[in-house]
Amino acid sequence: AGPEAGPHWTVLKYPDSKIDPALVEARLVLCELYQRGLQRGLERLKRVRRDHADATGRLAGREGNLAESLSRVIASVEQPAGDTGRVDSMTFAGNSARNLCQPREFAVGAPVWSLPWKERHVEQRLGKSDEWRGDQRSEPRSLQRITRVPAYFPVTWKNIVFYCDETDIYAISASLGREGQPAWGNEASIFHLPNEVERLPRAFAQGARVGYPRFTLTVAGDFLFARLGPATALSSRRREFRQNGNSLVCLGLGREGDLQWRVDSDDLDSEPGQWSFDGAPVVAEGRVFVPVRRGDLQMQLHVACFAVATGRLLWSRKICGGVEAFGGEADEIRQQLLTVADNRLYYNTNHGAIAALDTTDGRLQWVATYPRVEPETLVGFNRRQRLGPNPCVVAGGQVFAAPTDCEGILALDADSGTLQWAYRVRGTVPQLLGVAKSRLIAAGDFLWALEAETGRIAWRDGQADPEASTWGRGLIAGDQVFWSRREEIRIVDVATGRPVRQIDLGLQFGLYGGGNLVQGGDWLFLAQSDRFVAFGEFGGMARPAEKPLAGIWFPFRPAVEVRPVGEVK
């Protein structure tokens, strides 16, 4: 424009070139640290050290080198160097975020003590195309397949191990000198619920049934919470039998398991038999959260919230509705679990939707849907269920899920539910063990480590062999993954995927069939289908000498002979 166009106006834009890029990058480190966790903050700090090693400025109340200031901030939030103990596993997968990583590794020795419990198995009728697996026994005349199930997921609290079944809660001592004995009194059972299943008509047990029995519970503070009673939802074709409800109970551990309160699912509605608790509860912020199912012409899935102190219902929210498995032609055994993190509740429904709710009032914050896969046979349905339960895993501002009706692992943004990446898995739906070193660890037919931010495979371990696949649930301890398989525990390095050690449960200890791993105190517990085994860190199997002692010459025999007269030769 010429001079006649008038005065020129200066336009200011922000940010502009006067903003120090090093200071911006340093502040992003703090954002990653406080929003997505320590590991993500450390990774961002590496960029500052690489690109702005000599940059200075004012950050976190200090003037000086930015990388050094950030290192001091991170050191203040890291775990103290002297705190290398172990954390009790207070619920399924360790904590309410379903992402407990033990502070250090466990040097597995030999089994020190064990106790038997009621074996769990499922029976299935077979077609000609159904596969046979090594852990299954058969009766050719009836074409039945019996699969042993590691159904128990114990929790630990102050050297006491708790587990439950449909009717009882048990407490076992893990203290030195009293290992395997009842924790309180003469009986392991500290609470008994009358067995309503025995009162049902005989025809109740004669219908087709899908799903696997699973039993877990939660400890919060000095209280224990569990779902007891029938876990089987009757199919719609058998509505002539009234659906037996189940119960939510709270025990006070400070008073050796005294009942604090009990809520029956029949109390949730004026018409009994319609509602049932769909899984074990999770506890956070003085509240108890539990999935609830309404069995009607159209199934409904809800989340209910109760007060910890009294068991009073605070709110209930509907999440979704849907059609029952196989159109209501089969009874379904269900164990749905919720996840709590950062004042938000996450629910993997396994019915095409993953939801996030506010823990305060149950307000629905977002729902993410995905393409569903529905098995055509009962055996196929059970095959997709066999590594459950499968709650969401929350870490670093992300929600990870592997729904049983989806062919893949999903990563969602925790705030919005936006899909960040999806990794397709063929075959068995994997279980998510947690996030370590910014990697999501998943176990199924193989063991995978996926980069949490991108979904890229960091490494994969295992082989295409059904006998070498996952059986039971593993855990993460220190820098290692303890992978529970059908005949062994395989220990793998998180960073490299390199096998560190393999413990052959069958050949070394006669413990066949895999199991669920739980770490508590000085023990590594293995919960198999029919027994509970405690491993210590010492007292492993004797190993043969690496080199024979033939090169050492003895001028005499290295033994003595004691004669009856007392002479020693």
What tens digit of pLDDT does each residue of 359-418 get? 999 999 999 999 998 776 777 777 888 888 999 999 999 999 999 999 899 999 999 999
Among 59-73, 229-243, 520-534, which stretch is predicted with the lowest mean pLDDT? 229-243
Secondary structure (3-state) at 376: coil
- Beta-carbon contacts of 259 under 8 Å, excluding residues fewer than 6 positions away, are 191, 249, 250, 251, 252
| Judgement on whether residues 375 and 488 belong to the same structural domain of the protein | yes
Q: Number of C-alpha atoms within 13 angstroms, CB side, residue 369? A: 6
Which is nearest to 461 in space by CA: 516, 420, 498? 498
Note whether residue 551 is domain-resident. Answer: no
Q: Are 172 and 24 found together in one domain?
A: no
Instruction: Supply the pLDDT for residue 269.
Output: 78
Q: Are 368 and 353 in contact (CB under 8 A)?
A: yes
Q: Is 276 a residue whose pLDDT tops 80? A: yes
Q: Of the candidates 327, 331, 362, which has an alpha carbon nearest to the alpha carbon of residue 344?
A: 362
Residues 440 and 493 in one domain: yes
Contacts 24+ apart (CB under 8 A), 259-267: 259/191, 260/223, 260/311, 261/310, 261/311, 262/311, 263/306, 263/311, 263/313, 265/229, 265/292
Find the CATH number of the domain harbouring 313.
2.130.10.10
Q: How confident is the model at residue 135 (pLDDT cuts 50, 70, 90)?
A: very low
Tell whether 333 is covered by a domain: yes
Lowest mean pLDDT among 59-63, 324-328, 512-516: 324-328
Q: Are residues 137 and 46 in the same domain?
A: no
Residue 69 token pair:
């200031």
pLDDT at 85 over 60: no
In a domain, 496, yes or no: yes
Q: What is the CA radius of gyration of the chain?
A: 28
Tell me, yes or no, whether 205 lies in a domain: yes
Query: How many whole angstroms separate alpha carbon 233 and alpha carbon 121?
Result: 18
Residue 340's pLDDT is what? 97
Residues 172 and 207 placed together within one structural domain of the fold: yes
In a domain, 544, yes or no: no
Domain residues for the domain of 64 are: 11-77
Q: Which pLDDT score is estimated for 152?
A: 96
Asked if 213 contacts 151 with a C-beta cutoff of 8 angstroms, the reply is yes
**pLDDT over 50 (residue 526):** yes
Indicate if 222 and 315 belong to the same structural domain.
Answer: yes
168/112 Cα distance (integer angstroms)? 26
The pair of three-digit structure tokens given for residue 409, joined into one six-digit string: 């692992």
Nearest to 365 by CA among 435, 293, 411, 418: 418
Q: Which of 516, 524, 537, 541 is nearest to 117 (CA)?
A: 516
Over the chain, what is the mean pLDDT? 82
User: What's the rounded mean pLDDT across residues 240-253?
Assistant: 81
Residues 6+ apart with CB under 8 A from 476: 100, 101, 102, 433, 434, 436, 441, 482, 494
Q: Name the residue type at position 166.
A: E
Indicate if 109 and 258 belong to the same structural domain. Answer: yes
Question: Could you tell me if 315 and 456 lie in one domain?
Answer: yes
Q: What is the pLDDT of residue 565?
A: 41
Residue 488: inside a domain, yes or no? yes
Quick check: 1 pLDDT over 60?
no
Residue 539 has pLDDT above 70, yes or no: no
pLDDT tens readout for residues 42-76: 778 888 888 888 888 888 777 888 888 888 787 76
Query: Is residue 167 included in any domain, yes or no?
Result: yes
Q: How far apart are CA 176 and CA 180, in angstroms?
A: 10
> Band of the pLDDT at 461, cuts 50, 70, 90?
very high
Question: Do both 505 and 358 map to the same domain?
Answer: yes
Q: Are residues 307 and 369 in the same domain?
A: yes
Instruction: Report pLDDT for 23.
Output: 86
Kindly state whether residue 545 falls inside one of the protein's structural domains: no
pLDDT at 176: 81
Q: What would the mean pLDDT of 441-451 be, rounded to a whole number?
A: 95
* Ranges 114-118, 145-149, 181-185, 543-547: which has the least confidence: 543-547
**pLDDT band at 17; cut points 50, 70, 90:** low
Instruction: Count CB neighbours of 227 within 10 A.
Output: 25
**What local confidence, expressed as pLDDT, does residue 263 receive?**
96
267 and 208 assigned to the same domain = yes
| Position 82 confidence tier, pLDDT thresholds 50, 70, 90 | very low
Cβ-proximal residues to 495 (8 Å cutoff; 6+ apart), any chain = 437, 479
User: Looking at the structure, do residues 108 and 46 belong to the same domain, yes or no?
Assistant: no
Pairing of strands 475-477, 480-484: antiparallel
For 268, the 3-state DSSP assignment is helix
Domain count, the chain: 2
> With 60 as the cut, is the pLDDT of residue 134 above it?
no
The closest of 400, 388, 394 to 430, measured between CA atoms, is 388
Q: Is the pLDDT of residue 289 over 70?
A: yes
What number of residues does the chain have?
569
